[in-house]
Amino acid sequence: MRDVLTPGQMLAVQARLQPDRIGARDLERAMTFRQWNARACRLANALLGLGLGKGERVAVLAYNCIEWLEIYAAMAKAGLVAVPINFRLVGQEVRYILEDAEVSALILQDELAATIEEIRADLPVSDSRVVWFGATPCPAGFSAYEDLIARAREDEPGIAVDPADPWMLMYTSGTTGKPKGAIRSHRGAAMLSLITEIELGIHRRDSALLVMPMCHANSLYFFGAFSYCGGVTSVYSRKSFDPEHCVRALAEGGASFTSLVPTHYAMMLGLSREAKARHDLTRITRLMISSAPARPDTKRAVMEFFPNSGLYELYGATEVGWATMLHPPEQFTKLGSVGRECVGSAPIRLLDESGREVPDGEAGELFCSNPYLFDGYWKLPEKTREAFRGEYCTVGDMARRDADGFIHLVDRKSNMIISGGENIYPSEVEALLGGHPAVHDVAVVGLPDETWGERVHAVIVPRDGASVTEAEILGWCKDRLAGFKRPRTVSFLEDAAMPRTATGKTLHRKLKERLVRGEG
Q: What is the pLDDT of residue 28?
A: 93
Tell me the Ramachandran region of residue 122: left when phi exceeds 0, alpha when psi lies from -120 to 50, beta otherwise.
alpha
Of the two residues 454 and 63, the one the predictor is more confident about is 63
For residue range 418-455, list pLDDT tens digits in order.
Answer: 786 566 878 778 888 988 999 999 999 999 887 677 89
CATH of domain 418-516: 3.30.300.30
The string of DSSP letters for 184-239 reads EEHHHHHHHHHHHHHHHT--TT-EEEE-S-TTSHHHHHHHHHHHHHT-EEEE---S
User: Is the pLDDT assigned to residue 295 strictly greater than 80?
Assistant: no
Q: Do you know the residue count of the chain? A: 520
Model confidence band, residue 268 (pLDDT cutoffs 50, 70, 90): very high
- Show Cβ contacts of residue 482 under 8 Å, excluding neighbours closer than 6 positions: none
Q: How far apart are CA 381 and CA 378, in angstroms?
A: 8
pTM value is: 0.83
β-strands 376-377, 181-185: how paired? antiparallel
Q: How far apart are CA 203 and CA 478, in angstroms?
A: 50
**CA-closest candidate to residue 80, choices 168, 193, 13:** 168
Name the percent of the chain in helix, strand, coil, to the closest 5. Answer: 35, 25, 40
Residues pairing with 170 in the sheet: 182
Q: What is the pLDDT of residue 24?
A: 98
CATH topology for 7-190? Rossmann fold (3.40.50)
User: Is the pLDDT assigned to residue 458 strictly greater than 50?
Assistant: yes
Q: What is the pLDDT of residue 502?
A: 62
Cβ 301 vs Cβ 269: under 8 Å = yes
For residue range 129-152, list pLDDT tens digits in order.
Answer: 999 999 999 999 999 999 999 999
**Secondary structure letter of residue 462 according to DSSP:** E
User: Is the pLDDT assigned to residue 177 strictly greater than 60?
Assistant: no
Number of Cβ within a 10 Å radius of residue 497: 12
Axis crossing angle, helix 243-252 with helix 262-269, rounded to the nearest 10: 90
β-strands 30-32, 57-61: how paired? unpaired
User: Average of pLDDT values for 493-512?
Assistant: 81
Q: How far apart are CA 291 and CA 249, in angstroms?
A: 22
Q: How far apart are CA 298 and CA 381, in angstroms?
A: 41
Of the two residues 500 and 511, the one the predictor is more confident about is 511
Of the two residues 66 and 239, the one the predictor is more confident about is 66
- Domain-wise residue ranges, the chain: 7-190, 418-516
For residue range 341-383, list pLDDT tens digits in order.
Answer: 999 999 999 998 889 999 999 989 999 999 999 999 999 999 9
Asked, colleague to colleague, whether 7-190 and 418-516 share their fold, the answer is no
For residue range 274-292, list pLDDT tens digits in order.
Answer: 999 999 999 999 999 987 6
User: Is the pLDDT assigned to residue 176 strictly greater than 50?
Assistant: no
Q: What is the pLDDT of residue 421?
A: 59
Cβ 270 vs Cβ 293: under 8 Å = no
The string of DSSP letters for 103-132 reads -SEEEEEGGGHHHHHTTGGG-SS-GGGEEE
Mean confidence (pLDDT) of the chain: 92
User: Average of pLDDT values for 502-516?
Assistant: 81
Cβ 83 vs Cβ 72: under 8 Å = no
Q: What is the pLDDT of residue 175?
A: 45
Number of Cβ within a 10 Å radius of residue 253: 16
Of the two residues 174 and 201, the one the predictor is more confident about is 201
β-strands 349-351, 364-367: how paired? antiparallel
